[in-house]
Amino acid sequence: MIEKFKTNAEVIENGDKYLYGNHVRMPLSIERGEGAYVFDKDGNKYLDFIGGIAVNGLGHCHPAIVKCLEERAHTILHCSNYFYNEPAVQTAKLIVENSCFDKVLFANSGAEANEGQIKLARKYAKDHGHPERFVVITMKNSFHGRTLATCTATGQYAVHRYFEPLPSGFRYAEFNNLQSVKDIMDEYVCAILTEPVQGEGGVRPASQEFLQGLRDLCDEKGILLMFDEVQVGSGRTGKLFAHQNYGVEPDTCSMAKALGSGVPIGAVCARGEAAKTLTPGTHGSTFAGGPLACALAATTLDVMINDGVIENSRKMGEYFRKQAHEIIEKNHPEAVNEIRGLGLIDGIQLNKPSGQPVVDLCFKDSNVLINNTNGNVLRFVPPLIVNEEEIDIVIKAVDEAMTKLGW
């Protein structure tokens, strides 16, 4: 029999005893969710502006997702890629029809989708008469995943540390500095990979000149431009893809986090020649593109695109930043360094070593869940269905926490 724990404290106590200690967890065991709220085992209610780290785009228990899961339980969950399944085709079709891409390759996570992009870029170079090309240029402060290749692609020492020797073939440029990319460009480079908005790196949107400059450089060299939209794709920035805000089209682009509304899924979207590179036998996965994850992805995309969720993300993002300027920056001018974001990925960079004290007070005093990233950036990645009242609650919680801290 599976043991039932009675209280929040009991789950935490057993968690500390049995779960591997590779994550720092808040003292909260989440029992269930509803819209933008989650509840712990003791029945306490929290406003969730972490959203499973930008995964719960439709919030918790969205009726369309509940219905999809119920139907799925009675049809089929998995069948292998020896066969076609309708949800995979529906998901790929929705992505292609709402983007510049021609084909979609599925994966099971963000890291795996990026791993797919890296393999695709190396084969593309070989297919096109450049066997010498294997280097992927990525950006400092980026985040691309935790597998060996994607942690190496990640331009952060903290992520590389302890894992040497790392796979070869990665070089790092400065984000938003085109010259720094040109400085390390040579005949061995097969692709440039960047997030259009750095997420873990502190919510930093790319400049228009940077992304356009990368596009022009890749065209000039005949190499691939690859975007990592694991965090900022799937409607997060007020468009289906973040790069659609810039009008700069990559050759390939990864998706993951919010795509499956909580069930693991990743995708590599590709266009033109890059959509023909990975031929049978070169890449694949047992689970990727299965009916369960894809049925959820198709439903997620359908609701996002056709029920105004992406549009809500754009509008609520503007409202969030307006309120953050008018209340948080105005009341704490010394403590706030910069407020930035695109749609509903927003950050408040502080003139303090860490934002963690604010995160802790929001949790303890206001039952509001936010997180701190890249040292001192408060990050807000709520469900894309949030409304103005919910944003007001979060702004007030942050304002009060900073007042209490004397900031």
Ligand X SMILES: *Cc1c(COP(=O)(O)O)cnc(C)c1O
What is the contact surface with ligand X in residues (CB under 6 A)?
109-111, 114, 143-145, 195, 199-200, 228, 230-231, 256-257
Token reading at 21: 């200690």
Q: Nearest approach, Cβ of 181 to ligand X (angstroms)?
A: 18
Q: Tell me whether residue 49 or residue 143 sits nearer to ligand X (CB atom).
A: 143
Of 189 and 203, which has the nearer Cβ to ligand X?
Answer: 203
In the complex with ligand X, which residue's Cβ is closer, 8 or 246? 246
Q: How far is the CB of 222 from ligand X (least distance, A)?
A: 26
Query: Between 35 and 199, whose beta carbon lies closer to ligand X?
Result: 199
- Residue carrying structure tokens 């903290």: 158
Q: How far apart are CA 363 and CA 365, in angstroms?
A: 6
Question: Which strand ranges, in their side-by-side order, compose the sheet holding 103-107?
Answer: 103-107, 266-270, 252-255, 224-228, 189-194, 135-139, 170-173
Which residue carries 């935490």 as its tokens? 12
Q: For ligand X, which is the closer residue by CB, 231 or 244?
A: 231
Neighbours of 2 (CB within 10 A): 3
**Which tokens sit at 332?**
């704490």
Q: How far is the CB of 5 from ligand X (least distance, A)?
A: 27
In sequence order, which residues have a C-beta less than 8 Å from that of residue 292 and are 6 or more positions away?
72, 77, 78, 263
Q: How far is the CB of 168 from ligand X (least distance, A)?
A: 21
Minimum separation from the CB atom of position 356 to ligand X (A)? 20
Separation of CA 341 from chain center:
14
CB closer to ligand X out of 92 and 113: 113
Three-class DSSP category at 75: coil
Q: Are strands 252-255 and 266-270 parallel, antiparallel or unpaired?
A: antiparallel
Q: Which residue is nearest to ligand X (CB)?
A: 110
> Nearest approach, Cβ of 32 to ligand X (angstroms)?
23
| 3-state class (DSSP) for residue 178 | helix
The per-residue DSSP string of 94-135 comes to: HHHHTSS-SEEEEESSHHHHHHHHHHHHHHHHHHTT-TT--E
Burial class (CB in 10 A: 0-12, 13-18, 19+), 274: buried
Closest distance between ligand X and the C-beta of residue 178, in Å? Answer: 20
Identify which of residues 257 and 340 has a Cβ nearer to ligand X in the complex. 257
